[in-house]
Structure 1
Amino acid sequence: MKYYQYQHRVQYHETDQMGIVHHSNYIKWLEEARNEYLREQGISCRQLEELGILLPVIEVNCSYKQRTYYDDIVTIKVFIKELSRVIITFGYEIKKDGELLLLASTKQSFVNQDFKPFSLERERADIWEVICGEE
């Protein structure tokens, strides 16, 4: 399984009145890590959009394990968990110093500019291979 690791330092504005990271910020971190994963594979979200390929998020699942605080440096591991012709599911693990903080997944659909699902593997095999990391 190919994966990418992304580091993020928790900013003060990402914390809530209790002094811990607000739950909504983890979703933003997942997006940051996912975008960097795609760049690492050789294509950015901007390039996909310029090609008429959109990847809207259709489902997010998060299981919060431990709290995260201001100035913590977390490592976000992202990988392709499941892949079909029209759906890609990314898996994530967020850790600090090896301790698991969050398990998550996002499910996204390959759609065209009219938001109609299409088979990326069939219609754009070149892009499919880049995203999947196939040679």
Structure 2
Amino acid sequence: MKKSVTEIEVRYKETDQMGVVHHSNYVVWCELGRTHLIRELGFNYAEMESDGVLSPVTAINLAYKFPAKYGDTVTIETWIERYDGIRVVYGYNIVNGDGVQCVTGTSEHVCVKKESFRPISIRKHLPDWHAVYEREKKAVE
């Protein structure tokens, strides 16, 4: 199973008055990790969108374990947790520079046609993505 690793330096604007990262920033960091993973798999969100396909989040679940703080460098590990030809579930593990787990979680996505926002089959409409995601799914099993 491929795990993408993305490092982020915690910026002051991402924290509250106590220097603790606001919970909403982890969702943004997951997006960065997911985009990085997709790029490492050989694909590009922007190209998919220019072809009229979007990939909205249908569910997100994050468990906050330990606060990341201003000045920390966090590492986001991202992988394909599940894939069924329609839905993709990405997994995330975010740790601080000391290796302490800060957040774990998943996000679920479907692909939709931009003009109608109706779901499409990744298997049928994005066969190259499907082949790679199937390969990654088998690596998880």
- Superposition TM-score tier, normalisation by shorter sequence: over 0.9
Q: Paired residues, what number?
A: 134
Deviation (angstroms), 1:95: 0.7
Deviation (angstroms), 1:133: 7.3
Q: What SS class does the counterpart of residue 110 from structure 1 fall into? A: strand
TM-score scaled by structure 1?
0.93
Instruction: Give the equivalent residue in structure 1 for 2:119.
Output: 117
Alignment RMSD, CA only?
A: 1.5
CA distance in 2: counterparts of 1:58 and 1:17, whole angstroms = 32
CA contact (8 A) 2:88 2:109 kept: yes
CA distance in 1: counterparts of 2:131 and 2:50, whole angstroms = 18
Letter paired with 1:129: A
- Gaps of at least 5 residues in structure 2 are 137-141
Instruction: Give the equivalent residue in structure 2 for 1:100.
Output: 101
Instruction: Give the equivalent residue in structure 2 for 1:55.
Output: 55
Deviation (angstroms), 1:57: 0.5
Instruction: Give the equivalent residue in structure 1 for 2:18.
Output: 18
CA distance in 2: counterparts of 1:41 and 1:85, whole angstroms = 17
Q: How does 1:21-100 map to 2 (within 5 A)?
A: 21-96=21-96, 97-100=98-101
CA distance in 2: counterparts of 1:109 and 1:19, whole angstroms = 35
Instruction: Give the equivalent residue in structure 1 for 2:139.
Output: none
CA distance in 1: counterparts of 2:101 and 2:90, whole angstroms = 17
CA contact (8 A) 1:41 1:133 kept: no
CA distance in 2: counterparts of 1:116 and 1:13, whole angstroms = 36
CA contact (8 A) 1:79 1:90 kept: yes
CA distance in 1: counterparts of 2:130 and 2:5, whole angstroms = 21
Q: How has the CA–CA distance of structure 1 residues 3 and 32 changed in structure 2, closer, same or farther, with 3 Å as cutoff?
A: same
Q: Among all aligned residue pairs of Structure 1 and Structure 2, give the percentage whose two residues are the same amino acid.
A: 36
